[in-house]
Amino acid sequence: MSVDRGHVISPGRVNLLGEHVDYNDGLVLPVAIDRSVNIHFRRTEEKQITLHAHDLGEECCIIPEKLDEKAAVDGTPLPGWALYPAGVIWNLLRYDFRIEGFTAGFRSNIPIGAGLSSSAAVEVGFAVVCAALGGWQLDRMTMARICQEAEREYVGVNCGLMDQFACACGVHNHALVLDTRSLAYRSIPLPPDTSIVIADSSMRRSLVTSAYNDRRRDCEAAVAYFHAIDPSIRALRDVTPQWFLTAENELPAGIFRHARHVVEEIARVDEAIRLLEKNDSRGFGRLMYQTHTSLRDLYEVSSPELDILVEGAASFEGCLGARLTGAGFAGCTVNLVRSDCVDRFIRQLETDYSSKTGLQAAIFATHPVDGAHLS
């Protein structure tokens, strides 16, 4: 059943564990968070779609059937922000979904460029808008994949599936376990009496794309080495940590370090799932600290600011675990904190970070929420 107007809430996401393993067929543990993109929309009689980006004070009109040109109605190139909703509409049309004319305004309280999937939230949110107006159904994994394809093929960002998946499939008070090889997934409750706290370093990334591509090539080189030994090896997921260590003198040092992080991180996620099933919050937090050390020393994607945030968190007794989240180099850390300590933790971490860097971190508590939906 279609609607003529409505309000869609589309959450951001943070990844608790499983960093840089999605392109190595590993398991990831994201959660959808209560920072979100809010979209208010209404049907129109015109065939065009009018988009209002309230946070930027900009608007753009598009004609769905002419989106191949990546141009607005007036012929000017689409602004960068408009590529994300336009790409989703473009890809839905490729799948023969009916797209109605509408006007939509959206704003977000997800920090942009902080690794919390603001772009994926926009994509999934507009997919929900189009489904509501068109009166058609789309299962959430298919929706996530259509949005991922839009970002890769229309926007031109070679992203994995995890971001769109978490924004679409989030479950209240649960983490998601996604197998990036089979795309099987399930939800798992988070330990009671714990809270997720995100600390935004206020630093934004530079040179991330080249560094990401370098790391990805190193992982592919390591896979090629093991595949030559055993042709059944398809990804680093197929290599055990014990077997991997035997290659220390065979692989170049940089490739060995980077691939070692991935192999050991995949094993950490397996252990983390078992700990969550036992409500072992301290054990899970210990793995978060291990992941940060690995991302810093082996994968080499941390930064002085992120390290200061994690070290400051570790000095607080009520913090069970902390690590950088996302691509790295800047952005945010994610912290698992005892719920009765959250306010004190935030105040202490803000003070510690400011005194050591001269910067102001935006630190806030969040909780897992449902995926994008009509409100």
Name the residues annotated as catalytic.
163
DSSP code of 78? P
Using only the alpha carbons of the chain, give its radius of gyration.
21
φ, ψ at 161 (rounded to 5°): -95, -15
Cα 338 to Cα 344: distance, rounded to the nearest angstrom:
11
Closest CA to 204 of 295, 326, 363, 33: 326
Cα 50 to Cα 60: distance, rounded to the nearest angstrom:
6
Cα 373 to Cα 370: distance, rounded to the nearest angstrom:
8
Token pair recorded at residue 320: 């069970």
Cα 15 to Cα 265: distance, rounded to the nearest angstrom:
13
Amino acid at 251: L
Q: Which three-class secondary structure state does DSSP give residue 61?
A: strand
Q: Which three-class secondary structure state does DSSP give residue 176?
A: strand
Give buried/exposed letters for 174-213 (b at 16+ CB in 10 A, else e).
Answer: bbbbbebeeeebebeebbeebbbbbbbbbbebeebeebbe
Angle at 167 between CA 165 and CA 170, to 5 degrees: 85
Q: How many CB atoms lie within 10 A of CB 334?
A: 27
